[in-house]
Amino acid sequence: MNLHFDLFDLKLFVYVADAHSLTRGAEKACISLAAASTRIKQMEEAVGGKLLHRSAQGVSLTAAGQAVLYHAKRVMQQMEHLRCDMQDFGKGIKGHVRVFANTTSITEYLPQKLAGFLTQHPAVQVDLREYLSEEIVRAVADGEADIGILAGDVHTGDFDARPFGSNQLVLVVPTTHRLAGAPSVAFADTLDEQHVGLHHGSAIHRFLQRRAELAGRGFNPRIQVSSFEAICLMIEAGVGIGVLPMSSAQRLSMAMRISTVALSDTWAERELKLIARSREQLPALARELFDHLAAR
């Protein structure tokens, strides 16, 4: 088998596969339909089999086409990483690591952990983004993230996974609230109350919204703010109640008139995991950060 795909061929194939159309794929690649068809046929000849099923409704992938698409996307992502890294070197930055993490990791664990690493590596840039745990797994699998930090019982396949800590979600209420002092409460039983939450884009808001939906309820906070501290200030003022990581709630309760109540839901107790698709295949700086974060 003599495989010689250039980057344009791979990009074209991704466009065609994503659009389910040779015509729209050619348009996105800015080439004629005839030229696109010729390039796809040459790829099929190199592979020795069909990559696309063609029909009046468009195109669909064969098993071989699905394999080519998977690797083509990986190659394009790596090229994008290369482009970003080279831009960074031109700005004086000597490395770029992409980390996707959930809300609790970003607010409670990473500031101190990353501060130590970045002090040791002043010319390194870390691209830190907040996502839901399932989205983090997909991003690591697809090569969009070098490292992921997630919570809960999420399947991570054959990834390299290390324990990163644990945290528990708790209900926070004013000290005068009827639930203050209660041993525990189910999240669904709090949804008739006014909630204070983080903004719509936060991972923890979307997580709680999904948990409410699974309980057959809605989750529409009365007000949404930008930090756990702001949530607790609102709760102290009597605006509503809220769900926070226990570590944040306990720290903030030392300076505010708020109380924490355990959530009886099993999902409230969450183990945090550090993941990478393969530690050994990470770029040197990403591997060093992975080891730094994994160290107790």
Interatomic CA distance for residues 276 and 294, integer angstroms: 11
Provide the pLDDT for residue 6: 84
Residue 186: how many CA atoms within 13 Å on its side-chain side? 6
3-state SS of 55-93 is ECCEEEECHHHHHHHHHHHHHHHHHHHHHHHHHHHHCCC
User: Taking a C-beta distance cutoff of 8 angstroms, is the pair 22, 8 a contact?
Assistant: no
Interatomic CA distance for residues 58 and 53, integer angstroms: 8
Query: What are the tokens at 92?
Result: 């004086």
Domains of the chain and CATH, by start: 7-88 (1.10.10.10), 92-165+271-294 (3.40.190.10), 167-268 (3.40.190.10)
Please, what is the end-to-end C-alpha distance for the chain in angstroms? 48
User: Taking a C-beta distance cutoff of 8 angstroms, is the pair 273, 162 a contact?
Assistant: yes
User: Taking a C-beta distance cutoff of 8 angstroms, is the pair 172, 242 a contact?
Assistant: yes
Residue 114: how many CA atoms within 13 Å on its side-chain side? 19
Provide the pLDDT for residue 292: 94
Task: Specify whether the backbone of 220 is left (phi greater than 0), alpha (psi in -120 to 50) or beta.
Answer: beta
Provide the pLDDT for residue 91: 54
What angle do helix axes 63-90 and 33-47 make, rounded to 10 degrees?
Answer: 110
CB neighbours (10 Å) of residue 26? 22
What is the phi/psi pair of residue 135, to 5°? -70, -35
Interatomic CA distance for residues 195 and 199, integer angstroms: 12
User: Taking a C-beta distance cutoff of 8 angstroms, is the pair 150, 136 a contact?
Assistant: yes
Query: What are the tokens at 46?
Result: 């190199």
Provide the pLDDT for residue 164: 92
User: Taking a C-beta distance cutoff of 8 angstroms, is the pair 267, 152 a contact?
Assistant: yes
Mean pLDDT, the chain cut into blocks of 10 residues (296 residues total): 78 92 92 92 90 90 90 80 63 74 89 90 88 90 90 83 91 97 96 94 91 94 94 97 94 95 95 92 88 89
User: Taking a C-beta distance cutoff of 8 angstroms, is the pair 14, 58 a contact?
Assistant: no
Distance of CA 235 to the CA centre of its chain: 29
Provide the pLDDT for residue 61: 92
DSSP string for 91-110: TT--EEEEEEE-HHIIIIIH
